[in-house]
Structure 1
Amino acid sequence: MLDRTKAPYINNLVQPDIIKAQEAFIFENTPVFFVHSDNQEALKIEIITDSGSKFEQKPAAASTALSLLNEGTINRTGSQISDGFDSRGAFTDFNNTSDRQHMSCYTLERFFPEIIELMSDVWINPSFPENELERYQNQKAEQIAQQRKKNQYKAAEVFKNSLFGKNHPYGRTVGPEEIKSITREDLIDFHPTMYRNPAIFLSGKVTDNVLSTLQDHLQKIPVAQANTSKTKKPEQITDLIVIKRPESLQSTIRMGLPVIDRGHKDYYKLVVANELFGGYFGSRLMKNLREDKGYTYGVHSRLMHLEDEGYMIVGTDVIKEKTEDSLNEIQSELERLATESVEQLELDTVINYLKGNFISSINTPYSLVDKFKSLYFYDIDYGFYDNYFENLDQITPADIKNTVEKYLLNNQWTKVVVGDLK
């Protein structure tokens, strides 16, 4: 019988061997990487290109073009495309970011020849039907108009504008006006951009037949090279920006600052410092703002990485009357981390939490490919993961103090409040 008077035995977490992605040299101009698993029939293919929003000549062209790929080609109607995927139990997901566009599909290995033929047609031969463009514009414009009424959405937009600058590729936001201004000719002009530096990632049941079928279709892709020049320097606003909405019961806070990237020697220390500060449910910010003060249901801090910039963001929704107090408490927790040594038990708890998260994040071929992508696109080798536990174990309380003081305790914070400042 279980003796509930005794605490459960704690095992020391051991650095796992991560299964590494392999490269399939099947096409000269397009790298193909895969993680194979015999334990399932499912397969995921993801095509990623250097054609995100920062490459568009007209705002909203990239996201609109990607959204309409599935709505018709010169060979198929939108309904035929949809039926082609649905009849094979396939799930597609097209995602546009500032840096890249992602076209992915989950399917069964036995359907891969039909699925890759469909994806190739969608990628190469979109027709961008006028009626579908109009429908998309009406729906998207209305969706954005409604979303902007929400404090969280508005705060996210203003935060991006202020952290990078409204005219910076990472700071631009798209509204109903930009969506409505897109024409079919704009999409046709942007479409060749979607062939820039493609990379293909496969995970699941990746057989020889899958690779040979993929090779046949890759020969049809007109690969183009992207401009690899770095984006212009951000024009950050470090003032406190308040968007007043007196009718709101809560205020939304978004605040952040530029930080070092994954390749920096101090990055592991920053990861741990962020977790202590607001990265998980037991963080300092959660204990302060939620448990002790009752100002919010939740608060978080995260490290975000774009191709040319990295930043930390802190986000929460607080009782409107406690907005200013919440900002002060966030600042107070930063100062505490920079001036008072973290107890070793608290530091060990966070490090073990990070280790456990890492172990749980590499248990499927899909997640293993995701891990590889975060290395591949930032030019980092597998040593980042192979030495992960070792680097975490070397971090001391003094490292946390020094890291917070060096990188976070400064006047480089962008702060946005949507609601009211009381």
Structure 2
Amino acid sequence: MLDRTKAPETYEIDAVNIQIAEVTSLSNGARMHVIKSETQPVVRLDFVFKAGKWYEDKKGVSDLAAKMLLEGSLNHTAKQIADKVAFYGASFESSNGYDRTEYTLYCLAKYTTELLPLVLDILQNPAFPEEEFNHLKQRTSQSLKVQRQKNNYLSTHSFTQQVYGSQHPYTFGFDDGVLEAVTKEEVEAFYRNRFISQELEVFACGAIDDVLQRYLQLEIEKLRIQPATGSALSIEHKIKSATEKTKLVSIEDSLQSSIRVGARMPHISHPDYQPLLVLNEILGGYFGSRLMRNIREDKGYTYGIYSVISSKEEDSLFYVGTDVNYAVTDNTIDEILKEIKLLQEEEIPEEELQTVKNYMLGKFLNDLNTIFDQCDRYKRIVLFNLEQEHYNNYVTTIRTITAPRLKQLAKDYLNTEEFYTAIAGRRS
């Protein structure tokens, strides 16, 4: 009988086993990654194109292009697409990011053969109907106007402009009027140049047997989208950081100020990247972090404050974010810088460090519960061109990182004189 007076035993995490996909290079230039699991009779298919903001020559084009494919193909209207997906109890949606555009299908494994031809038709034969494009642009522009009324949207937009420059693709959000200026012809041209099969990565995971795997390979090989220019485009972007370190987006009569403070960090492939994740966790990465204890619990300035290291394929960005009453704006920034200075001057107590280590390891394992979670981790390895041991190295880093090492990292990378600060609202 279970003795409930005794706590369960705990074990050290030595390594993690993330399923590695079977990779097939298809005749059309695409690659298919298959991760099998019979736990649930569900399949997820991710079609990932190098068609994110990084590759656009006009802001807003990639976002509208990603959405337009769902507005109708040469063989199906938008309503027919939605009705068929709903009929089979499936989900099909697009996601436009900084580096990639992705289309994801969730469905029962037995309905994959019914839905895959529809998906391939959408990807290969978009119709770009004029009326739907105008409606889409109107809806998206209206949504943007609503977002631009929010302080946190404006502060993040302003902060990333300071760090990267107003025209850089890693700048968050859009200025007013950007989407209205995009034409249907520009969206079609972006599709023809960037949605190409030679650079397509397909990730298939779930209840996939040998018969379904063969079917996927044969059907996806039929997807042949050639770039209009004859070859894939290679694009580089220069970073044009602002000279002024602090920027205020003044919002008259605003009772709150949204604050962003931070700077660029090493790329995800850099040896210091994973140790910096531990340092960030201590500073503001979880509910018990130093920023939460100081600024939320002790000072009562905010309901929540966080720090994050956001990784893209070409760069990484660290920042602290919070919303506070405008009267304590400057005090909050002072406290943020104070906590960073403490990390540079004092070693983290062993008990605090061990708590963070346990939290990070537990959360990491929890995030590997399903086959879809594992596929997401594997996909990150592929898209960021990381080594296969990336996550085992992550576990080792968490387990072995020391307080002196973290103190040195704070000195090396959290140079507050180089930080940018963006405030949307009012200052005290």
Alignment TM class, shorter chain as reference: over 0.9
Q: Is the 8 A contact 1:263 1:380 kept in 2?
A: yes
Give the equivalent residue in structure 1 for 2:207.
205
Identity %: 29
Cα deviation, 1:263-322, whole Å, max 9, x if unaligned, reads 222222211110000000000000000000000000000111111111112110012111
Conservation of the 8 A alpha-carbon contact between 2:50 and 2:199: yes
Q: CA deviation at 1:183?
A: 2.2
Unaligned runs of 5+ in 2: none
Measure the CA separation in 2 of the matches of 1:219 and 1:45: 16
**Aligned match of 1:252:** 258
Within 5 Å, give how 1:130-279 maps onto structure 2. 130-171=130-171, 173-192=173-192, 193-195=194-196, 197-217=199-219, 218-222=221-225, 224=227, 226-237=232-243, 239-279=245-285
Residue in structure 1 matched with residue 79 of structure 2 by the alignment: 79
User: Superposition pairs for residues 335-374 of structure 1, below 5 Å?
Assistant: 335-374=341-380
SS in 1 for 2:115: helix
Residue pair 2:152, 2:258 contacting (<8 A) in 1 also: yes
Asked whether the equivalents of residues 51 and 99 of structure 1 are also in contact (C-alpha less than 8 Å), the reply is: yes
Unaligned runs of 5+ in 1: none
Distance 1:176 1:89 in 2: 38
1:129 deviates by 1.0
Task: State the distance in 2 between where 1:236 and 1:283 align.
Answer: 30
Aligned position for 1:287 = 293
The Cα offsets for residues 101-131 of structure 1, whole Å up to 9 and x where unpaired, read as 0111101111111211111111111111111
Q: Distance in 2 between matches of 1:95 and 1:282?
A: 32
Post-superposition shift, 1:172? 6.7
Q: Distance in 1 between matches of 2:121 and 2:238?
A: 35
**2:302 is aligned with 1:296:** yes
Go from structure 1 to structure 2 and tell me whether the alpha carbon gap of 1:173 and 1:386 turns closer, same or farther (over 3 Å shift).
Answer: closer
CA–CA separation in structure 1 for the residues paired with 2:203 and 2:422: 38
Between the aligned partners of 1:24 and 1:208, the Cα distance in structure 2 is 14
Q: Which residue identity does 1:125 align to in structure 2?
A: N
Q: Which residue of 1 aligns with 2:313?
A: 307
Contact residue 55 and residue 235 of structure 2 kept, 8 A: no
- Paired letter, 1:14: I
Paired residue secondary structure (1:316): strand
Rounded to whole Å, the distance in 2 between the matches of 1:190 and 1:215 is: 27
* Mapped contact 1:338–1:409 kept (Cα < 8 A): no
Match among 378, 383, 387 for residue 381 of structure 1: 387
Whether the 8 Å CA contact 2:35–2:205 is kept in 1: the answer is yes
Q: Supply the RMSD in Å over aligned alpha carbons.
A: 1.8
Q: Which residue identity lines up with residue 92 of structure 1 in the other structure?
A: F
| Residue 21, structure 1, aligned to residue 23, structure 2 | no
Please give the alpha-carbon distance, in whole angstroms, between the structure 1 residues aligned to 2:243 and 2:209.
51
Q: How far apart are residue 176 of structure 1 and its match?
A: 4.7
Distance 1:176 1:319, change over 3 A: closer
The 3 A distance-change label for structure 1 pair 210 and 412 is farther
Secondary structure of the residue aligned to 1:248 is: coil
Normalised by the length of structure 1, the TM-score is 0.95
Q: Is the 8 A contact 2:95 2:101 kept in 1?
A: yes
Q: 1:302 to 1:48 in 2, by over 3 A?
A: same
TM-score (norm 2): 0.93
Return the offset for 1:216. Answer: 2.4
- Partner of 1:296, secondary structure, is coil
Q: Is the counterpart of residue 105 in structure 1 residue 105 in structure 2? A: yes
Query: CA 1:232 to 1:144, structure 2 compared with 1: closer, same or farther past 3 Å?
Result: same
Return structure 1 stretches of 4+ with deviation > 4 angstroms: none
Instruction: Check the 8 A contact 1:166/1:173 in 2, yes or no.
Output: no
- Per-residue deviation, residues 308-343 of structure 1 (Å, max 9, x unmatched): 111112110012111100000000000001101110
Q: Which amino acid aligns with 2:382?
A: Y
Q: CA deviation at 1:228?
A: 4.2
Q: Secondary structure at the match of 1:421?
A: coil
The residue type paired with residue 219 of structure 1 is K
